Amino acid sequence: MKHPPLLLRGRVLPVLDAPIPHGAVVIEDGVITYVGPAARAPHLPGGATEVDAGDGTIIPGMVDAHVHLVADGSADFMGSVVRSAPEELTRTAAANAVRTLTAGTVAVRDLGAPDGIAVALGREIAAGRLPGPQIAAAGRAITAPGGHIPYLGVEVQGAAEMADAARTELARGADGIKLVATGGVLTPAVAIGNAPYEEAELAAAAGVARAEGRWVAAHAIGYDGTKRALRAGATTIEHGVYLDDEAVDLLASCGAVLVTTRIAVVRMLRNADVIEGAVVAKAEEIQDVNIESLRRAARAGIPIAGASDAGTPFNPHGGVAEEAALLVGDIGLSTADALRAVTATAARCLLRSDLGHLSVGAAGHVVVTGGDPMDDVGALRDVRSVVFGGRLVPRSADEETT
């Protein structure tokens, strides 16, 4: 589909290259064709759309490497999913997709949804039939019988069954797979340190995905499960709460990306009075060790993607900029590294080299923020304009209909 070229002018943060104080970005046919000084930008024929960033900053569209589109952030995460019919979950997911894109996130990785809902929504968006970010979906999360988040997944055990489950999700259109390698905060009955799968079981599923060049996301909170997942071939470790030196060395030697979701814990603790006590107790239990582990990984130079785990209690979609702020505030990342965590490194989790940076040939997804995220990472929350595939995204649903 042809539409007029778009030119953005102002301070540019390409992410993988140095900032350009008086820069310009040109998008033609959905792809970036120029990034450089405004003075040398190509002359565009009449009809080009121009966006002036003013005192704001032009950055790549953000990428959120861990979300649950079917969940809306209500206090009862599990209840909100299990009590809803597929049609209701589909509507929720579609609304969350719009909210995500409007907040400046142009691609997400959905790590667990029932009934193929995230896969189907991703197809609708890709075909231009519904608004939203690009969606890379895991389909159903693969979890052990009686394990964490069965309502977002399928319960499987045994190496042959694990491999079959991975094949099934990929055949149904998943972009990668999600392995639930440990217990989790939101499943009170299962201890966080619980590691239900042997390395061989995880490896059987991971091997199927990796043979097809797909990503393997491992929900991994406890020490043992995290290490097993890494040895089994996980390409990303989700949450990364308990990381000792051995786990950090494994992250480095396996070339895996660590996906942080600090925001999910912070939001639960902020609303502790209205969340189930057992869940709050777990969130409190992991708070300090989580920060310590992430600092250890950061010091070792492990690639860190900041993600939202959106959909969890009081954690609505579109909040990945908040995770970037926590990476600066709690973990001590520089503003440049925090920006990279929610753009280029997050895109790496999706195995998408065309996302998360402003370069010629990259996808034409651009955000204009207020202020300068290099001075104050909070500027990432102040999204002024969103460009998706070279077109300006309407600011809100009202604007879309007027």
Q: Quick check: 369 and 62 in contact, CB under 8 A?
A: no
Q: Quick check: 120 and 69 in contact, CB under 8 A?
A: no
The nearest distance, CB 167 to Zn ion, in angstroms, is: 23
Question: What is the number of other CB atoms lying within 10 angstroms of the CB of residue 370?
Answer: 18
- Binders of Zn ion among 94-113, rule CB under 5 A? none
The region of 5-13, 252-260, 306-314, 348-356 touching Zn ion under the rule CB under 5 A is 306-314
CB closer to Zn ion, 114 vs 373: 114
Q: Quick check: 386 and 27 in contact, CB under 8 A?
A: no
CB closer to Zn ion, 24 vs 279: 279
The region of 44-52, 273-281, 287-295, 308-316 touching Zn ion under the rule CB under 5 A is 308-316
Residue with smallest beta-carbon separation from Zn ion: 309
CB closer to Zn ion, 57 vs 345: 345
DSSP state of 362: S
CB closer to Zn ion, 187 vs 345: 187
CB closer to Zn ion, 263 vs 298: 263
- What region, left, alpha or beta, does residue 140 occupy, with left being phi > 0 and alpha being psi -120 to 50 degrees? beta
Binding letters toward Zn ion, positions 213-232, x by CB under 5 A: --------------------
The nearest distance, CB 360 to Zn ion, in angstroms, is: 35
Closest by Cα among 305, 143, 319 to 218? 143
The nearest distance, CB 179 to Zn ion, in angstroms, is: 12
119: Cβ–Cβ under 8 A, 6 or more apart, which residues?
A: 113, 135, 137, 139, 172, 173, 174
The nearest distance, CB 366 to Zn ion, in angstroms, is: 27
The nearest distance, CB 382 to Zn ion, in angstroms, is: 26
- Tell me the site size for Zn ion, rule CB under 5 A: 1
The nearest distance, CB 349 to Zn ion, in angstroms, is: 13
Token pair for 368: 């204009």
Token pair for 185: 């905060």
Q: Quick check: 320 and 64 in contact, CB under 8 A?
A: yes
Place of tokens 């024929």: 45
**89 vs 69: CA distance, rounded Å:** 9
- Is 309 an interacting residue with respect to Zn ion (CB under 5 A)? yes
Q: What are phi and psi of 242, to 5 degrees?
A: -110, 95
- Is 64 an interacting residue with respect to Zn ion (CB under 5 A)? no
The nearest distance, CB 265 to Zn ion, in angstroms, is: 12
CB closer to Zn ion, 178 vs 365: 178
- Is 276 an interacting residue with respect to Zn ion (CB under 5 A)? no
**287 vs 124: CA distance, rounded Å:** 38
Q: For binding to Zn ion (CB under 5 A), which residues are involved? A: 309
